[in-house]
Amino acid sequence: MTLPTDPPPIAAQWTFYDTFERPVPGPDYTGGYFDGGELVLGPMLFHNGQTGINADQANSILTSELAQSRWDGGGIQLQYDLTVVLTPVIDVVNAPACGFILQGDGAMLSWDGRRLRCSGDGWEATASLPPIADNIVQRVRLTVDPVANQLQLTRNQMGLSRPLPAQYLAGMTNATLVLFISNQPGNIDTQQISARFKYLALRNGDGTADLSSGISGGGLWLGGKSWMAPGTPDNGVGSDGDLWFDTSGTGDIYQKEAGTYVVRTQLLGAPGAQGVAGATGATGPAGPTGPAGADGQDGADGVDGQDGVLVGTLPTSFLLGDATAEEGEIYTVTDLPGGLAGIQLRGLDGVEAEVAVFPTGDEDWRVLTPTDYPHELKPGYLRLKRTDDSGGVTILRALVGAGSDGPVGGGGGNPGGGFSPFTITTDARGFQTIVEGTVTTDARGFQTVTNGTATTDSRGFQTVTRSSP
């Protein structure tokens, strides 16, 4: 089996995967530190064991233990990249021991870079690989596969495979996983050594053993398991002849040959022709009313209109568009020309408001009720007060009288013209009509009573008298 050190493992294919690309180890590790995307143990002094053994030089070991929540102590597949760094680089006889230890309540499995050792109470199994030079990246993969009853270890291009001892699983309860580097007593010349682990990955080992057994005489690949996972295959999984289905949507199907998965076929065909456009869907429900738009800019002032002709009584209004101040809007009522005295209040429309009068000589405000209308304003004060701020409009309807003394109504008598007075009618809203009036309307909508004559009193009020039939 070939285990390249590049590219890194595909994270989706592992239960736990760590690239060490963060400042601190956090709760997953006890021991070691992170540096440049690697878990580092060291540096420590190395004694190469050639000559001059000193009695006071004891073995030293540095470890990093992985949290038990990150893995299962039974069937397991463990993989990492490792570089044992000696500074400065020298050739040594006894290279530092560096690898992992799985320690359960009744069994232990360890790898020190050359020897795989599995032992328990009264039993032991070992296997070895030739030594490898330090300062070289090595990809190590351990496979404990209870389904295939296999214990396997690979280091780059080399591998070991042994039957899984029958006592192993029972002895691995409460197991711990420790990465380590250890020196040995040697001569007094010392070097700096470190272990740098990269791309640590773990998953369940059931069914992951490599069961490749070569090619039969007829060219049939032995094996034949099927694997399904997203992305390109992991060459460290399965045996020659196994199939790998990429479930990420590519449609690629791979087969393992000489330790490497190669594409055998592709399930996705060429894109089909453009389909017929579907029918128009039903009209959806009306959406919610959008927020009110911003107020537009004020328009330009219009051209001054021509002077109109006052006919009989004229309707007018007091308007409130919002809530007033606490004291309300107060108007002074005088009987001077153009003053408000004599105006007849007809009633309220729209948003509720309070209307109060304070005639000269009274001691306090009098709030008008609906039964008080119509009400003729006397000199003094008029107050409009509103608390509602909804934005609706309050309209206080009123009539401006055309006569100077009498109540709002028709014109005066017959001042020698020989014509009878105009007849005035008033509708439910307070608007009045001159029944006998002859009216003309100009292009701008202004109206003139052509058979009447207007006179103005000292307060500016006009009276229209009939001057022709």
Q: Is residue 305 part of a domain?
A: no
Please give the residue that has the higher pLDDT: either 207 or 104: 104
Of residues 269 and 412, more confidently modeled: 269
Looking at the structure, do residues 97 and 233 belong to the same domain, yes or no?
no
pLDDT at 195 over 60: yes
Same domain, yes or no, for 136 and 194? yes
CB 126 within 8 A of CB 111: no
Judge whether residue 318 has pLDDT over 70. yes
Same domain, 166 and 257: no
For 211-234, b/e burial (b = at least 16 CB within 10 A) is: bbeeeeeeeebebeeebebeebbb
Task: Determine the Cα–Cα distance for residues 321 and 384; give it in Å rounded to an integer.
Answer: 12
Confidence of residue 6 (pLDDT cuts 50, 70, 90): low
Q: Which domain holds residue 332?
A: 314-462
Percentage of residues in the chain having pLDDT higher than 90: 33
Q: What is the CATH number of the domain that holds 183?
A: 2.60.120.200
Q: Are residues 178 and 233 in the same domain?
A: no
**Structure confidence by residue, pLDDT tens digits, 336-385:** 887 888 899 999 998 999 999 999 888 889 998 988 999 999 999 999 99
Q: Do 120 and 35 share a domain, yes or no?
A: yes
Residues 174 and 258 grouped into a single domain: no
Q: 86 with 141, same domain?
A: yes
Please report which confidence band the pLDDT of residue 118 belongs to, taking 50, 70 and 90 as the band edges.
Answer: very high
How many Cβ atoms are within 10 Å of 164's Cβ, its own excluded?
A: 22
Cis amide leading into 165 (omega within 30): no
DSSP string, 319-357: EE-SPPPTT-EEEEE--STT-STTPEEEEEEES--EEEE
Which one of 1-10, 107-116, 228-237 scores highest in mean pLDDT?
107-116
Same domain? 48 vs 155:
yes
Rounded-to-integer distance, Cα 419 and Cα 438, Å: 14
Please report, for residues 375, 401, 461, 463, the alpha-carbon distance to residue 337 in angstroms, rounded to integers and kept in the order given.
20, 13, 7, 14
CATH of residue 335: 2.60.120
Q: 39-48, 165-174, 282-291 — which is least confidently predicted?
A: 39-48
Question: Do 443 and 303 touch, CB atoms closer than 8 A?
Answer: no
Mean pLDDT of 178-207: 78
**137 to each of 12, 65, 80, 192, how far by Cα in Å?**
24, 22, 10, 18
Task: Please tell me the total count of domains within the chain.
Answer: 3
- Confidence bin at 94 (pLDDT 50/70/90): low
pLDDT on residue 178:
96
In a domain, 233, yes or no: yes
Residues in CB range of 397: below 8 A, 6 or more apart: 315, 317, 345, 346, 347, 348, 349, 429, 430
> For residues 466 and 312, what is the distance between their CA atoms, to the nearest angstrom?
11
Q: Smallest Cα–Cα separation from 148: which of 208, 204, 102?
A: 208
344 assigned to some structural domain: yes
What is the rounded distance in angstroms from the CA atom of residue 245 to the CA atom of residue 250?
A: 9
Same domain, 421 and 339: yes
pLDDT for 438 equals 87
pLDDT confidence of residue 45:
64
Task: Give yes or no for a contact between 47 and 190, defined as CB atoms under 8 angstroms apart.
Answer: yes
Answer whether residue 114 is part of any domain.
yes
Average pLDDT of the segment spanning 421-431: 77
Range 65-86 average pLDDT: 87
- The answer on 246 and 176 residing in a single domain is no
Is a pLDDT exceeding 90 seen at residue 133?
Answer: no
Over residues 167-190, the pLDDT tens digits come to: 999 999 999 999 999 876 543 345
In a domain, 446, yes or no: yes
Q: Residue 411: its pLDDT value, please? A: 38
Q: Is the pLDDT of residue 207 over 60?
A: yes
Give the model's pLDDT for residue 180: 94
User: Is residue 194 predicted with pLDDT exceeding 80?
Assistant: yes
Contacts of 102 (CB under 8 A, 6+ apart): 73, 76, 108, 109, 110, 172, 175, 176, 177
Q: Domain for residue 420, yes or no?
A: yes
Res 56: pLDDT: 44
Q: Which pLDDT belongs to residue 8?
A: 86
Q: What is the pLDDT of residue 208?
A: 83
* Region of poorest pLDDT, from 97-106, 186-195, 208-217: 186-195
Return mean pLDDT, the chain. 81
Count of residues in the chain: 469
| Confidence at residue 187, expressed as pLDDT on a 0 to 100 scale | 34
- 455 with 363, same domain: the answer is yes
Whole-angstrom distance, CA of residue 400 vs CA of residue 261: 101
pLDDT the model gives residue 405: 40
299, part of any domain: no
Among the residue ranges 114-123, 246-255, 292-301, 405-414, the one predicted with the least confidence is: 405-414
Mean local confidence (pLDDT), 236-246: 82
**Is 220 a residue whose pLDDT tops 50?**
no
Residue entry with tokens 């004694």: 47
Same domain, 86 and 137: yes
Residue range 113-126: mean pLDDT, rounded: 90
What would the pLDDT profile of 361-374 be if each residue is shown by its tens digit? 888 899 989 889 99
Per-state percent for the chain, helix, strand, coil, to nearest 5: 5, 40, 55
Q: What is the Cβ-side half-sphere exposure of residue 153, based on CA atoms within 13 angstroms?
A: 22
- Residue 271 in any domain: the answer is no
267 near 251, Cβ under 8 Å?
Answer: yes
Q: What percentage of the chain exceeds 70 in pLDDT?
A: 81
Whether residue 270 has pLDDT greater than 80: no
